[in-house]
Each structure stands twice: as C-alpha cells, then as structure tokens.
Structure 1
Amino acid sequence: MKKTAFTFLSVIVVMTMFLAACGNSTKPSNEGKQGSTGNVNQEAPKETEQPKQEEVKLRVFSTFGGTDAAREAFAGALDAFQKANPHIKIENDVMSANDDGFRTKVNTDMTSGNEPDLLFYFIGADANEMINAGKVVALDELLDADQEWKNGFAPAALNFARHTDGKIYSIPMTGFYEGLFVNKALFEQHGVELPTDWEKLKTAVKTFSEKGIIPLSGPFDQSHYLIEHFVLAAAGAEGQNKGLVDGIEPNWEKGLAAMKELYELGAFPQDAATIDLSMAGNYYSEGLAAMILEGSWAIGGWKDETKANTTVLPFPAIPGGAGTGKDVVGGFGTGFYMSTATYENAQKKDATVLLLKHLTSQDTIKAIATANGGTPAAQGVEPDGLPQAALDGFKMVGEAVSISMPIDSKVTPETFNTIRANIQPILTGEKTPAEGLGAAREIELANKK
C-alpha cells in the first residue's frame, strides 16, 4: 500500500513529539493497579487475608539477545515485573535478530504447539502465516477495554501495526529508521566530501578503497540493508512498495545494478561473502570502515569514539531511477504478539495481559528507546542521553519525502531469502539483476497460490 500523506505526517508528528521538550506529565502506569483491594493503609485481620496467589509460569520470546543494545534494559523490565508480581515466573527466551535461526525457531514453535505466551516479532509479511493460522489473537478488544493504556500510544505507532485485515495483533515498543551511517572523522581526515549524492558516494568508495579502508561495510548473505536501500534509492517509495507479484519493477533491477557498480569500485569488505551483520558492524565500530547501512538500533553497540564521530544520511538517489534522495526506510516494524493458546488459558491470560501492559508502559518504552535509540511508540516519552547520531537520525526522518517499511515486510520470507542468495552472484556477474529477481518472483508467486 502506497504511503499516504496522512501516514507520513503521522510519523513526523511522532518525531516532533520526541524532539520537543515535553511539558506534559507522564500518565501513570497501570502496573500494580490490578489485584489491589480495600484500603491499603488499613491492616486486614488475619482471618480475612487473601490466600497466596497461585504461581504462573510465562515464556517470553524476543530478539533482545546477543549484542542488542536494549538487551539489558529489556531484562531489567522483566526483573522489575517479577519483583512486583512474585507469583509470576518468567522465562526470558532470547535470540539475536542477526541470527537467522530465530525465524526458524519462531516458525517451529508456532506450528508445534510450543507457542511462547508473548512473542516479540516482526510486523508484516513475516507474521502472515501465524495470523492466518489463528496462532495469535487480535488485541483490539484489550486496547479498547483500557483507554488509558491505548491512548498512551502514538497513533502512528498503532497504525503501522495494523494487519491487512485492519486489526492490531502486535503492540510496538519502539520504531526505527535505517540510513547510511558515516564516520565523519574518516571523511574529514582523508578530505572526502560526505556522500550526499551518487557521484560523491562513488568518489568516497574509490578514495577509501585505494587507501585500504573499507568504504561500505556489509555482508553479501545477510544483505538486508543493502537490498532495502539500493532498491529504494532506485525505485522510490511507490516502486519499492510494488513487491514482485505483479512483475519485476525495472528500477529494482537498476538498484541491484548500482550495487554491482559500487562492488566493482571496491566498496565492500574483502570477506563480505563470509561475514555476517555482526562482523560488518564490528568493522564500522572499530573504525575500519567509513560507512555502513544499518538501523537506529545499531548506534548503541558501537565504540564511544565511533559513535561520537557518526552522522546518518539518507542513501543517495540512483541516477535514472525514481528515488528522491530523501526516501527513508523506517516505521514500527516489531511488537508483542499474544498466543491464542495463552489468551484462552484462564490461568495465564490475566498474568500475560498484565505483563504485556508493563512491557508497553511508558517507563519500559522509555528505557528501551534510550538503549536502542528507537522512536518511542508511546506519547510524551523522551529518551535520555541520546548521542548526536541518533538526533541526526530523527532529523533525517523529519525531512524525509517518504518513509517505507523494509522490503522483507512486503514479500514472503522465502522470497526475500532468494533475493539475498542472489546478491553475490549478481555482484560477481554470474547472474544479471533480472535473473536474480526473476528467481525470487517465482518463489513469491508460488507462495501466493
């Protein structure tokens, strides 16, 4: 669905609220309100004391693992909840989002009767199968039943979370943006202009490559961010949104051809065929790479020196395409799902709802956004101590002509994996962009039958 002006303005409102000094008082959390009875200042006689609450065990699966910048903040939120609710025991089941195995784990759990009670997962095509299979429940009724909780969210955040049937199955915590992160110190040291257009980007690639510095750090297998940005820079928001079902958008081919052009100029690490996203990020963090295509969450994991020297820019428009040079990948792409099995379990439902509200409260969202530099899904929340690079990112989004969700939210996982698998053959000349995208389209059409 093409981004509307309304959606774009909604995101700008979210960013404006984030950047503006907030004079409004934060709404009180619902945490701790449930289950209290009588006058808390009056000690009840022993004979009227409530019986000990029955222990409830919950499993939460998320991608707040590995080197995720918000890992400790998320674990802290779970610990705080358990201290306030000692009868609820939580298994914190985590993996890194950089580990492709987490998708396999989620799919296996959701199809084998081993669903987590709360699942933190992608919004979009990745969730279609479990939604269509009835493995997770729509949360609209829970939101409507607690207007204070619902009204605490930024409208744009909940709108991004709506499924194609108009229902909300996932509650977001923070949003994100992606962009071209640039080490300003390296550019200044070597007298290179910032890559604000395609020619300047090519000049930067050639210069750093000749000096033995990785120009653009990125892996060929886990090429998520390369694919997203090169396609968007060539196809623009409308073309990027078309996907592959109705044919191959010519500008998608142009985007992958432009990636090959930079490859031939020496843009990528020499071991790009074997490294993963974590190693690509490490090259940038250590100052071994001048640029990286990444998301807002990556900033918190970089060395302080690199973080201080970093700014973020929209990826330059590719000549001859439909991109504007101010098209940005972003939105609210992850959130909490509640399994249907849990919702229908009288013992677990109330405890899980209480935990869901805690994890999406203003306090928790602030802690997560402060850790990962993400856009808060809650209104009136201003994260603390963000580096200049994060503020530059919000400015970039505020000036964007369009804001698009990543390609992997618009095609099936199998289709996107096929595109990824064809990146190296395209760059090395074994396949043309048309051939690589054609193979992905066949997978997409097969999955749509």
Structure 2
Amino acid sequence: MFTMRTGAAVLAATVMLAALAACGGDGQEGAEPAASGPRTLKLWHYESADGAMGKAWAEAIKQFEATHPGVKVQFEEKAFEQIRQSAGMILNSDEAPDVMEYNKGNATAGLLSKQGLLTDLSAEAAKRGWDKLLSPSLQTTAKYDDRGVMGSGKWFGIPNYAEYVMVYYNKDLFEKHKVEVPTTFEQFTAAMDTFAKAGVTPLAVGGAEYPAQQIFYQLALSKAQRPWVDGFQLYKGKVDFHGPEFTYAAETTADWVKKGYIAKDSAGIKAEDMGLSFIGGKYPMVVTGSWWYGRFATDIKDFEWGSFLWPGNTLHAGSSGNIWVVPENAKNKDLAYDFIDITMKKEIQNLLGNSGGIPVAADPAAITDPKSKELIENFTKLSTADGLAFYPDWPAPGYYDVLVAGVQNLINGAKKPAEVLDELAAPYEENLADIGD
C-alpha cells in the first residue's frame, strides 16, 4: 500500500541495512547483544485492548515476560492507518520495532520484503514448527517471492489468526421492521429496501477507510469465479476492469447510494466511527470483518445482534489475519521469534478463539463460547470450500488509497462508475509492468 521508491533509494536502503547487519547486535542467533544489562522487546500492534486479538496478545506479553526474566516488553499500540502510512520509513531507520503486526498482501508485506526491510523467517518457521501449524491456504500470505508476490518463496510473516468479511445485524431492528435474515442476494436487497422505505439507512459504512471498498469487492465477487480472483490477486491472467465483475460492483455501489441503502455522507466516515454507530444501535447492518466480532460481543449492551455470510456469494473477502513481521533492522530478533512462538501456543490461541477471534492453532474442543463457535464454523466453511478471495487493496503498492478514493467518488457521486474503473485500472497495470508480468 506504499508508494514504490526509486531504484536508487532501494539500493541505498539495502547498503545501509548491510552495513548495520555487519555491525552485529541485531539479536540474531549467534550475535552478541548490543549492550549489557536488561533487554527490551519493542512490540507494535494495532488491535484494540477489548478485541479478541488484543486480549490474546496481552496474555502473550504476560507469558513472555514470565518466561524471560530481565526482559521487558515495550508495547506501543499503533493505529492501522499509522502503520500503513509510515511503515516503510520507520523500518528503514533505527526506530524499527523488534516485532510488528502488519498488513499482508503484495502491496504491503510483499513490497517491504522486496525492499529488503523484513527478516526472512523461513528457518524459524521450520525450526519452531510454524510451517506445520499453518494450513497451505493460510501460508499464502506468509510467503513472498523476489517480486514481492504472495503465495511462494520465503517466509516473511507469521499469521496467527484468520479473518473474513460478513454482515452483522441488529436483531431488534430486524424484528421491529419485520425483516427476516436474508439467505439470498435478492432477499438481502429486499431487506435493505424495507429499511430504506421506512426512513432507516440499512448499512453503516465507512467510506474514508477500508469498509466501503470491501462492500465494493463483495459485489464484484458475486459475479466472479476463482480464476478471476487468481488473475487479480496473483497475476495469473488478465483482469478486465470493465468486465462484468468490477462493472457490476461500481454500478451497484452507486445505485445503492441512490436507493438510500448507503448514506451519501458516509464517504467521509472512518471505520472506527462506523463501528461505533452500529454499536450505538443506529443502523440495522454493517458489512465488515471478523476482527470486529470480539468488540461487538463486549461493547453491545442494548440490543441483540447476530451475523450472516454475504448472501449468494461463493467467494468472500477473507484470508489469514494480519501477520507478525520482524524488521531487518530489529535489534532483538531472538526475542521477537520467542514472542511470536508464544502467540502460536494453544493456550493463547484458545483465548483468542473464546474472545471472538478466529484462531489458527487452537484446540477445537477448547472453544466453548457459542458465538465464537459460530464464527469459527463459518470460517471453516469458507476455507474448506476455497471461498476466501483475499482483499481488494492487495495487488499493487498504494492501491488502498486508490480504492478509498474511487469508492468515495462512487458514494458522493463525484465520478461515474466507468471513470472510477479507469482510475482503478491504471495503477494496477503500472504495477504489472514494474514487476515484469
């Protein structure tokens, strides 16, 4: 998701990293500590404290400090946007953390791996058995080739939870307006029409960040098959941005605004405010990821809620969760590996699962919370049916911002669908030319 730097800048970064590595003290096995005395593990992630992953990682920090006497964890919670916008610059400095949660995909982890800013974790994955704990589909976002394309090559990240996009709904509002939970796309649009005609905007939407583009992508996936996803995400074939998939997504998004399913002013709403509006009972539905599940379970007090898969789709936005990465400039890589290992332990994974997250290495029998079991079962259905289609911003560096702007233009009516699709196509094609495909 970051702008590609010039070849000269990349070369300079590579030279600097090589010089730093030659000086030692990076915490790798066999290297001398940079200084005597207490050591510190510098950890960054962007999970909320009351979310499933936040709870699990807090417990992992406790276990890490208990098993590493004299080592303190210096944890800094960063906003998703903070890390997204500044990761390349921070990791190319001596301010890099030792371990960091980072977004997966070609445009993010793939780009940084290509630039030499991430540590190759292949040896640790084999040594610690992470390669056995993670299924092949989950390993897709862990490995990147020399071009920065996911799915093969070296391990540059470790996913420790999974995720997918679904529809959350307010059961009280559904009952009040006599709306049944939809099982087909036609029933879904009919439900939204019922709310809209009653003066209630059906969908809470955050157009200023990722949520609106995920609705756009779900609409495209409703007309797509696996070869289209592989072409778009893995560059295995030509993508026609004016083909039926993206054309339907763009035209339907604009149409939903006209019909009152999506509020026009949602173009300026951020994800956090979108989630809070649903928690506050203001909207019947919100389309977003499983990462909100634990927080909704904790924070929604005034109404009953549930969730369902986007009706009618065989393909859904989803994948492994974000990944732990170890910056090449990390000073304590050995400690970083130990922390990652703790997050993969069954005790931590079970806690994550019972808190509303989707674990990748839990004991299924240990997941006792009914809502959590439903969440995990739905993910299992998608995963076993090859129904995970990744996320729309992954294919090209800087594509997240391109999609945000494009979908905002669809919501506020600033541009026609065909014009937006032209703007989505240009940077995608430029990236293909850059990587030589």
The TM-score, its normalising length taken from structure 1, stands at: 0.76
CA distance in 2, matches of 1:179, 1:306: 21
CA distance in 2, matches of 1:366, 1:404: 23
Instruction: Answer whether contact 2:120 2:155 (CA < 8 A) is retained.
Output: yes
CA distance in 1, matches of 2:290, 2:302: 14
| Aligned partner letter, 2:110 | N
| Aligned partner letter, 1:443 | P
Q: Residues 236 and 96 of structure 1: is their aligned pair in 2 closer, same or farther, counting only changes over 3 Å?
A: farther
Identity in percent: 20
CA distance in 1, matches of 2:340, 2:374: 31
CA distance in 2, matches of 1:260, 1:418: 17
CA distance in 1, matches of 2:365, 2:291: 16
> What secondary structure does 2:369 align onto?
coil
1:136 aligns with 118
CA distance in 1, matches of 2:365, 2:401: 36
Structure 2, gaps ≥5 residues long: 1-28, 30-35, 145-149
CA distance in 1, matches of 2:121, 2:412: 47
CA distance in 1, matches of 2:303, 2:294: 8
| Aligned partner letter, 1:340 | E
Task: Write the deviation string for residues 285-321 of structure 1: whole angstroms up to 9, x where unpaired.
Answer: 22221111111121221244578431222x234xxxx
2:44 to 29, 38, 61: 61
Instruction: Answer whether contact 1:171 1:337 (CA < 8 A) is retained.
Output: yes
2:63 to 80, 86, 96: 80
Summarize the alignment of residues 355-370 of structure 1 with structure 2, pairs less than 5 Å apart.
Answer: 355-370=339-354
| Aligned partner letter, 2:252 | A
2:334 aligns with 350
2:227 to 217, 238, 249: 238
Instruction: Answer whether contact 1:373 1:386 (CA < 8 A) is retained.
Output: no
Instruction: Answer whether contact 1:283 1:289 (CA < 8 A) is retained.
Output: yes
> What secondary structure does 1:327 align onto?
coil
Q: Residues 145 and 295 of structure 1: is their aligned pair in 2 closer, same or farther, counting only changes over 3 Å?
A: same
Is 1:261 aligned with 2:255?
yes
Summarize the alignment of residues 393-432 of structure 1 with structure 2, pairs less than 5 Å apart.
Answer: 393-400=375-382, 401-408=385-392, 410-432=394-416
2:289 to 295, 318, 321: 295
Alignment coverage as a number of residue pairs: 381
CA distance in 1, matches of 2:386, 2:137: 14
Instruction: Answer whether contact 1:328 1:397 (CA < 8 A) is retained.
Output: no
2:319 to 331, 337, 347: 331
CA distance in 1, matches of 2:305, 2:376: 17
1:47 aligns with none
**Shift of the alpha carbon at 1:263?**
1.4
Q: Residues 333 and 69 of structure 1: is their aligned pair in 2 closer, same or farther, counting only changes over 3 Å?
A: closer
Q: Residues 258 and 409 of structure 1: is their aligned pair in 2 closer, same or farther, counting only changes over 3 Å?
A: closer
> What secondary structure does 2:120 align onto?
coil
Cα RMSD (Å) of the superposition? 2.8
| Aligned partner letter, 2:408 | Q
Q: Residues 278 and 79 of structure 1: is their aligned pair in 2 closer, same or farther, counting only changes over 3 Å?
A: same
1:272 aligns with 266
Task: Write the deviation string for residues 77-113 of structure 1: whole angstroms up to 9, x where unpaired.
Answer: 213311332321221122233xx23211322212334
Q: Residues 396 and 365 of structure 1: is their aligned pair in 2 closer, same or farther, counting only changes over 3 Å?
A: closer
1:316 aligns with 311
Instruction: Answer whether contact 2:214 2:392 (CA < 8 A) is retained.
Output: no
Summarize the alignment of residues 29-178 of structure 1 with structure 2, pairs less than 5 Å apart.
Answer: 54-65=37-48, 68-97=51-80, 100-125=81-106, 126-147=108-129, 150-163=131-144, 164=150, 165-178=152-165
CA distance in 2, matches of 1:247, 1:307: 44
The TM-score, its normalising length taken from structure 2, stands at: 0.78
Instruction: Answer whether contact 1:178 1:328 (CA < 8 A) is retained.
Output: yes
| Aligned partner letter, 2:314 | K
Instruction: Answer whether contact 2:217 2:249 (CA < 8 A) is retained.
Output: no
Task: Write the deviation string for residues 133-163 of structure 1: whole angstroms up to 9, x where unpaired.
Answer: 222122221122234x554444543355232
CA distance in 2, matches of 1:152, 1:399: 19
> What secondary structure does 2:178 align onto?
coil
Structure 1, gaps ≥5 residues long: 1-33, 35-52, 318-324
Is 1:190 aligned with 2:177?
yes
